[in-house]
Structure 1
Amino acid sequence: MDAFFSQLEFWHWFAFAVLLIIVDVATGANFLFLWGGIAAAFVGVLLLIMPKMGWEYQLMIFGLGVMSSILVWFFFLRKHKPATDQPKLNLRNEQYIDRVFNLDEPIVNGRGKIRVGDTWWKVKGADLPQGTKIKVVAVDGVILIVEKVE
């Protein structure tokens, strides 16, 4: 195994980079393999500049390059969320904010329940009797924060 790795040359890394990028495009992996391809190309450039670099350092730089580029991409995506016409599509509980419902179970000690479609939701708010019209004003995890509708 040592003989295999000790014969790595810069063009091996460039070929590996191209292969990873082709795999990313062919599978639609959403840039997962692209970062490995960029890291492999970077190691190829380093090996071109420093041809005596040991294979251990090459693999270490490749691994660190993949991990760091994925982390950078992750934090970039968190800051730059793509624009969408349905921003609450997969945030079911937030879809109920500003909607009005009837209280199905009274709010006692700040807790009660409403029925939305075929699902029961816990609600939190001021104590109110059953049947009161309430409006969802916020969400706390899976609990809807409600206020009485005047």
Structure 2
Amino acid sequence: MWSYLQHLTYWDWLALGTLLLILEVFGAGGYLLWIGVAAASVGVLTFVLPNMHWAIQFLLFGMLSVATAVFWWQRQRSAAKPSRQPGLNQRGQEFIGRQFPLHEAISDGRGKIRAGDTVWLVSGPDLPVGSQVRVVGQDGVLLKVEAV
């Protein structure tokens, strides 16, 4: 085994990189992707420089693995920044502060308004049909309203 590790060729590194990339497909969350890229990179370097000492190959593999993993981690962190459009993909948030007539009377704290092309369930004080209400909040698909 020791003799084998001392005489690695570019095929060995490319095979390791391919194996790690295949394992990544099964759901490693990106970790094996970058280590596989590092192994493939060492394989390419070993192809270009065939007399590279085995210790240098392992050192390069370790350094490239850490470098690519740090690159991936930083990229993931920068991608997780909050959106400049805070209400994006949050239906109902755009109605907060707007006024609508009641589509169905609020009775026992529940009623409906027509907002946009949708009829929304609302909660608030009991009011008759046609009363103007202002949307003051949202709880899931339920809009909270108050009388204007």
TM bin, normalised by shorter chain, reads 0.5 to 0.7
Paired residues, what number? 106
1:37 counterpart letter in structure 2: L
Alpha-carbon distance in 2 for matches of 1:38, 1:98 = 47
Deviation track 1:112-136 (CA, whole Å, cap 9, x = no partner) reads 0011233111001122222221111
Alpha-carbon distance in 2 for matches of 1:96, 1:12 = 56
> Looking at CA atoms only, which structure, 1 or 2, has the larger radius of gyration?
2
Do the aligned partners of 2:121 and 2:141 also contact (CA within 8 Å) in 1?
yes
Mark the runs of 5 or more structure 1 residues left unpaired by the alignment: 1-6, 21-32, 51-65
Identity %: 36
Deviation track 1:62-86 (CA, whole Å, cap 9, x = no partner) reads xxxx9xx79x94xx478522x33x4
Deviation track 1:28-61 (CA, whole Å, cap 9, x = no partner) reads xxxxx9755303145677x9539xxxxxxxxxxx
Shift of residue 90, structure 1, vs aligned partner: 2.2
Return the match for 1:10 from 8, 13, 21. 13
TM-score of the two chains, using structure 1 as the length reference: 0.52
Alpha-carbon distance in 1 for matches of 2:124, 2:78 = 35
TM-score of the two chains, using structure 2 as the length reference: 0.53
Structure 1 runs of 4+ with >6 Å offset: none
Do the aligned partners of 1:88 and 1:95 also contact (CA within 8 Å) in 2?
yes
Judged with a 3 Å threshold, the aligned counterparts in structure 2 of structure 1 residues 141 and 78 are, in CA distance, closer, same or farther, namely farther
Do the aligned partners of 1:124 and 1:145 also contact (CA within 8 Å) in 2?
yes
Judged with a 3 Å threshold, the aligned counterparts in structure 2 of structure 1 residues 143 and 78 are, in CA distance, closer, same or farther, namely farther
Mark the runs of 5 or more structure 2 residues left unpaired by the alignment: 1-8, 23-28, 43-53, 60-68
Judged with a 3 Å threshold, the aligned counterparts in structure 2 of structure 1 residues 79 and 126 are, in CA distance, closer, same or farther, namely farther
